[in-house]
Structure 1
Amino acid sequence: MLGLPTLRVCLPEFQRLCHLGSPGARHASAVAGWGLKPSSRKARAHAERHQLPYVAIEDGFLRSWGLGVEGHPPHSLVVDHLGIYYDASRPSTLEHLILEAVDAPEAELIRARDGMERLRELRLSKYNHAPDRQLFDDNRPRVLVVDQTAGDASIAGGLAEADDFQRMLDAARAEHPESEILVKVHPDVIVGKKAGHLLEAGQLPGCRLIGDNLNPWSLLDAVHCVYVVSSQLGFEALLAGKRVICHGVPFYAGWGLTDDRRNCPRRGVQRSLVQVFSAAYLRYARYANPYTGQATDFEEALELIGDQTRQQRRLAGRWATYGLSSWKRGFVGDFLGHDAKVRHLRHEHPPKDAERDERLLCWASRLDVSAEERCRAQDHALWRMEDGFLRSIGLGVDLARPLSLVVDALGIHYDASRESELERTLNEASFSPALLRRAARLRERLVTLRLSKYNVPAKYNVTAKYNVPGARRIQRPEGGRLLLVPGQVESDASIVHGTLDIRTNGALLAAVRQANPDARILYKPHPDVATGARIGALRQADEHLYDREVGDVDIVDVLDMVDEVHTMCSLTGFEALLRGRRVVTYGMPFYAGWGLTEDRHTCPRRRRRLDLDALVAATLILYPLYVDPGSRRLCNAETAVALLEQHRAEHHRPAWRTHLYRWYRNIFIGKH
């Protein structure tokens, strides 16, 4: 339990946690254990012997994407000082909360209604790794009977016994003679790893055994009625609007919501589904982000697991990469998720050696026209990968590991010559009010925390000994309009595919100066150019085109003081939009053409006017992949922002390895 990354933050009432056998245990004020499971017997006995309170801890009702036995940490825990929710033989904290729910404030009930609706939309359950698919094509009436593994603590806790499962099946058959009976058994029971109660039910007329690992909502879509003993699936069936018959006493029974075949005298009062949900999911369960170690709430946990589930399903399957450096091979598999099988091809001529069911993945800027033509000729799925928009603390050219990447099946966001998944999303997606509110909060947080793509703290070049945040600050020059022109790497693929007539930093500065002869212009070289690694340094003859260079000033400090940003296709233009600045584009970056920027060129494919939060939702929430570098698991945009904040606080200057690598790169590799 002490190894759970969310345990301490979910137990704020205790200042110190220690093992039962440690010296500190002598001064303990309570003993915690894992519910009423056999593993907690020693803890419960110790508490009773020393007359200490026993605190039961269990996974919450919305736990995680994957299983705990596979190492996926819980996003929620329940903490019960009275009993535990699945033990109806005694009172529990949850039972008390449901009894008191009649006085729940209206604001909390609104949260509960919204949360229930969002759970339905995302089709989330306690665990969310199982496939979600349609089971049947016909409309035959069906009833679901839910088995459980033998010895499950919730069976005895639900005042039931093993024979109740057969009685439940018999009742379902008798009460629904016209319906097919689907008997859901645990997959481990099918293969003999665990014992169940209804394994033989598939041999009965009108019964069908379902042993596949399935999303519970797939099952609920197929039935009109659900029979359970004490499974949580019964509560999710209530959320889905199904009739639920209980042959035990789970936490949601006894409140007038279910057809109860066993009574619990302590209950017997009417409670609405919203009230029970509010008590269980909003008050009883405690939430924490396992990647940041920070306390959170139901809504944030819901969106994080929802994003993980969406990306895991999208990326599951077999992949073959080509043209990736050994360094990138070390992390690309993390971004493709738990259910991806990744193989790295050594040749440089795709799709040679790639198998038919493999999606081919390459770094977008390394893909040439001949490779695309070969893939197209062989009808091979080709995906492109690039850095995300909230990348890291430090530069990719310095081998700083990314927190985000984008993986695109259509094109890539910076290539305006073709549609990308980001462009399609911006053109076609329906942005719900909840998603737009989430995007607004994310945008405000980015601005407040002063985060950008690389978050390089100060002057970041090969000769700098110390790179302390705020190494140079400047005051806004007095006078009229102040413009920022961000430099770009002139050999970068975004210049090749995202510009038309202006393709160098010098040409951009000349165009900006010609259009704005009276403005003051600040010029900020790209960090990779400033380190000496990439092409894009100005000629001496171009230096008269700007008033001041701000290469060693934090980009956020510059954005805070300027009135406008003029750019070919730099991400700085997007970051300027987040901060309410006027942005003029001289190429066709992904954020141009939606009515938010003043554009020198047009893109006929971009046929929709968007507000800023829709752009943020698509660009930062829906399109990229995010990975926590500690656990190496997929996370989401809000988690990445919190991690960047934490990492930046720890980051003082580049490590000696970075200085050594820069020297080697500049001497032996050269600029590119």
Structure 2
Amino acid sequence: MQQLPLPMRHRVQTKAVSSMALRKGAEHDKSRPRLFVYSLGLVFQRRVRRILKAHGWQLKFGLPLRDGDAVAVWGRKKTAKRGMAVANHFKRRLITVEDAFLRSVLTGRQNAPSMGIVTDHTGIYFDTEVPSDIDDWLEKSTKLTLDEVTYAAQMVTYMRHLKLSKYNNFTRHNVEICDDFILVVDQTLRDAAIEKGAAGPDTFADMLSRAKLENPDKKILIKTHPETTAGKRLGHFTEHDCDDQVSLLSAQISPWELFEKANKIYCVTSQVGLEAIFAGHKPIVFGRPFYAGLGLTDDRGSARKKPLKCTAEQLFWATHLQYSKWYDPYFDRATEFQSAVRNLHAQSQQHQDSKQPSICLGMRLWKRGFLRQFLSTEHTTPRFVSSAEQAAQLAQKANGRVLAWAGKVTSDLVQQCKAKDVPLVRIEDGFLRSVGLGAQLVAPVSLAFDDQGIYYDPTDQSRLETLLNQSDTLTDMDLARANHIRDRVIALKMTKYNLKANAVTINAAKGQKIILVPGQVEDDASILKGASKVKTNLELLKAARADFPNDYIVYKPHPDVLAGLRIGMIQPNDTAQYADQIVDNGSMAELLDQVDHIATITSLTGFEALIRGKSVTCYGQPFYSGWGLTDDRAAKIKRRKAEVSLSALVHATLIAYPRYWDPITGDACPVEVVLERFERGELQKRGPASIRILAKIQGLFASYAYLWR
């Protein structure tokens, strides 16, 4: 099924706030409707203020004296009464604000900012004693077009595929969940959704009793609320409610994983019940949440005042695509659901990756700053040590993992980690790294953290290889996203380092086939691990000339070699013997646009050429060879069993395998953010003065590069 674009009438304006707009902010605000607030929660929640402004509101203090003014309140807390009284007195619209249905990684009580809000002009969704905008949306959902229903179904699949929920502080766990169990969903004490949903504490006791009575032969797991798990609020159930049949599930597991094995779901008014509907369940509901009474639940509580019938797709359209207002925190703008999902998933992945304590071995001082960004959470920050034995011991003691730059992993480190039974993670730059060379101490915006091996080492399994072997599990949306990323990379002329370079003119005769031979660093790990018979740049040139005797060969030395930072220089006489043209300072992206074919050992340029639709001959075993996409002259790697499409290769290499970090906000981000930063010229962020000075000193002493590499 082809992914549909968001139907036109549901798209939002996603233009980022420019510096010119900021300078003219006062004039711009005059055209916005004014929204008056009277609670400290709305005043001090910066993210909520930014979301409201991004969606067209001008926040104000004072009295709503003009026609068109409105009053905002948060939920149905006691503080909302002030705003409600003002709105009633001045006969102004009352707008109730609440968190959206996909909120954040951590909870609000852990000070995590939200990815979106809902704004209700009638009531609020969890208060089913009175009408709300969502009731209106649900009534309208029966008039959806086929494209709208299909798009909603795709977004449900997307959210389900990424296992996203309202809160997403999940752990990569080894918790054994039995099959065919009964899931009972707890909520926090005094949650407004309980009282406003025609329920109370006794309802939870009744729910558990009914679950036990109706399922005497099945295990019952009580899912605690994330705020209860975090120690921020009490729930209704404790260990006293457990017995041989009933257990508390406090592990931080995505509800979607539970839905896959659950036989039935029992809930009161929890949003987990809503997500269970999207997972294909018919939850048994003991309260009166907004999603009850629609023909999608087994209702045991009070009846809905105005019964409706709708499908799960129509319900999703109402809740996530119409009722919710989504926000892009990277560019301070309104956005669409799909973008919000990508952003939240990137942050959730980084948090999951970094929850386990990280012991980093042998990291140079200049790398530690950006590694702290990639590897820190609210409870963990990486430790840096200098010996393999110490790293393994600390990781064992902290129930953590050892991380080391892939090229610095020694057999001693591998043995120490095995002896202590701790994971070893290899780090390497991502494939869209930076604007500038790592050898010049430019910090990366992407890193690969590989828990199996490393992508450039074909002698062993890597996480990237695993992803490629599993490419048949990719969804249509995954592949569509990969195609979009590929198109963007080509249009932006992006490469790994994105170096500024002169335009290139290739002097081939008309109709002559042009072969690009990219030089490599000869002591680079990808050569040491992935080369076969051809191991040096000179040998590569000789092989290319032998295989393409009548074609026009262009040789481009590696930038680090040209800078004198790494080995691999070929004597000019030797180069001239086998190459028709040498390009020292040309743009790789523009060069790739002009050539027909690439001959390489293991260079990343081969992958960048594949992205651009070029044919590639591999004399070594790079990560992109052996999948049916390249002309392979080295031995076939038997582990690489799949026939992989170019879209699947792009998805694994640029989306799933690396982790990205936004240099402006300092947060984990999806690759789309990095692409837009590059387009806007915002990846050229200068590092600390100490790093810039060190880079200049390094350039003066290039011949001693082994001292810092």
Q: Is TM > 0.5 for Structure 1 vs Structure 2?
A: yes
CA contact (8 A) 1:9 1:295 kept: yes
Seen in structure 2, the aligned counterparts of structure 1 residues 213 and 518 have a Cα distance that, compared at 3 Å, is: closer
Answering whether residue 436 of structure 2 is matched by residue 394 of structure 1, we say yes
CA contact (8 A) 2:167 2:226 kept: no
The unaligned stretches of length 5 or more in structure 1 are: 460-470
Matched letter for residue 638 of structure 1: E
Residue aligned with 1:583, SS: strand
CA contact (8 A) 1:6 1:75 kept: no
Answering whether residue 604 of structure 2 is matched by residue 571 of structure 1, we say yes
Matched letter for residue 231 of structure 1: S
- Aligned partner of 2:407 in structure 1 is 365
Answering whether residue 604 of structure 2 is matched by residue 561 of structure 1, we say no
- Aligned partner of 1:256 in structure 2 is 295
CA distance in 2, matches of 1:180, 1:597: 52
Task: Give the counterpart of 1:327 among 349, 366, 376.
Answer: 366
Answering whether residue 573 of structure 2 is matched by residue 534 of structure 1, we say no
Seen in structure 2, the aligned counterparts of structure 1 residues 165 and 414 have a Cα distance that, compared at 3 Å, is: closer
CA distance in 2, matches of 1:528, 1:102: 61
Seen in structure 2, the aligned counterparts of structure 1 residues 610 and 429 have a Cα distance that, compared at 3 Å, is: closer
CA contact (8 A) 1:187 1:212 kept: no
Residue aligned with 1:430, SS: helix
Answering whether residue 452 of structure 2 is matched by residue 410 of structure 1, we say yes
The alignment of Structure 1 onto Structure 2 pairs a total of residues equal to 654
Seen in structure 2, the aligned counterparts of structure 1 residues 220 and 601 have a Cα distance that, compared at 3 Å, is: closer
Deviation at 1:248, TM superposition (A): 3.1
Which digits, 9 at most, give the CA deviation of each residue in 1:577-625, with x for residues without a partner? 0000121222221111222112221233234332211211222222222
CA contact (8 A) 2:49 2:59 kept: no
Task: Give the counterpart of 2:696 among 649, 663, 666.
Answer: 663
Task: Give the counterpart of 1:235 among 250, 274, 280.
Answer: 274
Which digits, 9 at most, give the CA deviation of each residue in 1:318-353, with x for residues without a partner? 332211112222222433463766322123667664
Q: Please report the RMSD computed on the Cα atoms of aligned residues, expressed in angstroms.
A: 3.6
Deviates more, 1:278-287 or 1:294-303: 294-303
Seen in structure 2, the aligned counterparts of structure 1 residues 143 and 542 have a Cα distance that, compared at 3 Å, is: closer
CA contact (8 A) 1:6 1:290 kept: no
CA distance in 1, matches of 2:61, 2:361: 51
Deviates more, 1:591-600 or 1:337-346: 337-346
CA distance in 2, matches of 1:649, 1:192: 39
CA contact (8 A) 2:515 2:596 kept: yes
Deviation at 1:268, TM superposition (A): 1.0
Residue aligned with 2:694, SS: helix
CA contact (8 A) 2:446 2:661 kept: yes
Task: Give the counterpart of 2:387 among 320, 342, 347.
Answer: 347
CA distance in 2, matches of 1:627, 1:436: 23
- Aligned partner of 1:637 in structure 2 is 671
Seen in structure 2, the aligned counterparts of structure 1 residues 382 and 268 have a Cα distance that, compared at 3 Å, is: closer
Deviation at 1:44, TM superposition (A): 4.1
Deviation at 1:481, TM superposition (A): 1.7
- Aligned partner of 2:657 in structure 1 is 623
Answering whether residue 594 of structure 2 is matched by residue 551 of structure 1, we say no
1:121-520 correspondence to structure 2 within 5 Å = 121-131=161-171, 136-137=177-178, 142=182, 144=184, 146-166=185-205, 168-169=207-208, 183-186=222-225, 194-198=233-237, 202=241, 208-210=247-249, 213-217=252-256, 220=259, 223-258=262-297, 259-265=299-305, 267-306=306-345, 308-309=347-348, 312-313=351-352, 316-336=355-375, 338=377, 342-347=382-387, 353-356=393-396, 357-373=399-415, 375=417, 381-434=423-476, 435-456=478-499, 458-459=500-501, 472=503, 474=505, 478-479=509-510, 480-520=512-552
CA contact (8 A) 1:10 1:287 kept: no
- Aligned partner of 1:596 in structure 2 is 629
Deviation at 1:571, TM superposition (A): 0.8
CA distance in 1, matches of 2:465, 2:97: 46
- Aligned partner of 2:22 in structure 1 is none
Deviation at 1:524, TM superposition (A): 2.7
Task: Give the counterpart of 2:61 among 17, 20, 25.
Answer: 20
1:577-592 correspondence to structure 2 within 5 Å = 577-592=610-625
Seen in structure 2, the aligned counterparts of structure 1 residues 587 and 147 have a Cα distance that, compared at 3 Å, is: closer
CA distance in 2, matches of 1:410, 1:532: 33
Which digits, 9 at most, give the CA deviation of each residue in 1:536-588, with x for residues without a partner? 33323234243444333322111111112222211111011000012122222
Seen in structure 2, the aligned counterparts of structure 1 residues 611 and 6 have a Cα distance that, compared at 3 Å, is: farther
- Aligned partner of 2:26 in structure 1 is none
Deviation at 1:232, TM superposition (A): 0.9
Residue aligned with 1:317, SS: coil
Which digits, 9 at most, give the CA deviation of each residue in 1:123-165, with x for residues without a partner? 33211213466565475x6462x44323322233324455544
CA contact (8 A) 1:568 1:589 kept: yes
CA distance in 2, matches of 1:170, 1:377: 49
CA contact (8 A) 1:345 1:353 kept: no
- Aligned partner of 1:34 in structure 2 is 74
CA distance in 1, matches of 2:616, 2:243: 69
- Aligned partner of 2:39 in structure 1 is none
Seen in structure 2, the aligned counterparts of structure 1 residues 5 and 171 have a Cα distance that, compared at 3 Å, is: same
Name the TM-score, length of structure 2 as normaliser.
Answer: 0.81
Deviates more, 1:344-353 or 1:242-251: 344-353
Residue aligned with 1:533, SS: coil
CA distance in 2, matches of 1:47, 1:473: 66
Name the TM-score, length of structure 1 as normaliser.
Answer: 0.85
Seen in structure 2, the aligned counterparts of structure 1 residues 308 and 244 have a Cα distance that, compared at 3 Å, is: same
Which digits, 9 at most, give the CA deviation of each residue in 1:485-516, with x for residues without a partner? 22222232222222133333333233323433
CA distance in 1, matches of 2:65, 2:387: 59
- Give percent identity, aligned residues only: 36
Task: Give the counterpart of 2:135 among 95, 105, 109.
Answer: 95
Seen in structure 2, the aligned counterparts of structure 1 residues 566 and 340 have a Cα distance that, compared at 3 Å, is: farther
Matched letter for residue 609 of structure 1: E
CA distance in 1, matches of 2:253, 2:97: 27
Which digits, 9 at most, give the CA deviation of each residue in 1:228-279, with x for residues without a partner? 33211221232344443434322212222221521332x2122222211221
CA distance in 2, matches of 1:180, 1:377: 38
Seen in structure 2, the aligned counterparts of structure 1 residues 407 and 218 have a Cα distance that, compared at 3 Å, is: closer
CA distance in 1, matches of 2:409, 2:88: 67
